[in-house]
Amino acid sequence: MNPIKSMRRHIAVDSRYTYTVFLEPMEEGGFLVHVPALPEVVTAGDTEDEAMAMAKEAIELVLESRRERGEDIPVEIGKAQMREVTVSLAA
């Protein structure tokens, strides 16, 4: 066995990820949160600040779970863009 290889140490490095988060106003008040890159993340909050805090916590939990299961952690490519489209339905 190569003695240099056996002396290598594994150093844990924190990784930072940034995700687009959509806040959708709810009829009853508050915000529903969606994370397009992580479809399993859906949460809500009574205020925008609370919704963002809940989103951060949910994202962290999903990423930790994915890492533990050996799954890929998605990385967003480019900045998400939001557009509106209007459709009509025949009467």
Q: Which residues contact 89 (CB under 8 A, 6 or more apart)?
A: none
Structure confidence at residue 13 (pLDDT): 59
Structure confidence at residue 12 (pLDDT): 53
As a dihedral over the C-alpha atoms of residue 4, residue 14, residue 61, residue 72, rounded to 10 degrees, the angle is -60
Structure confidence at residue 66 (pLDDT): 95
State the residue for tokens 């990423």.
Answer: 63
* pLDDT tens for each residue of the chain, 91 residues long: 554 444 444 445 578 999 999 999 999 999 999 999 999 999 999 999 999 999 999 999 999 999 999 999 998 888 888 899 999 999 8
Structure confidence at residue 40 (pLDDT): 95
Domains and CATH numbers, the chain: 18-68 (3.30.160.250)
Q: Which residues contact 54 (CB under 8 A, 6 or more apart)?
A: 33, 43, 44, 45
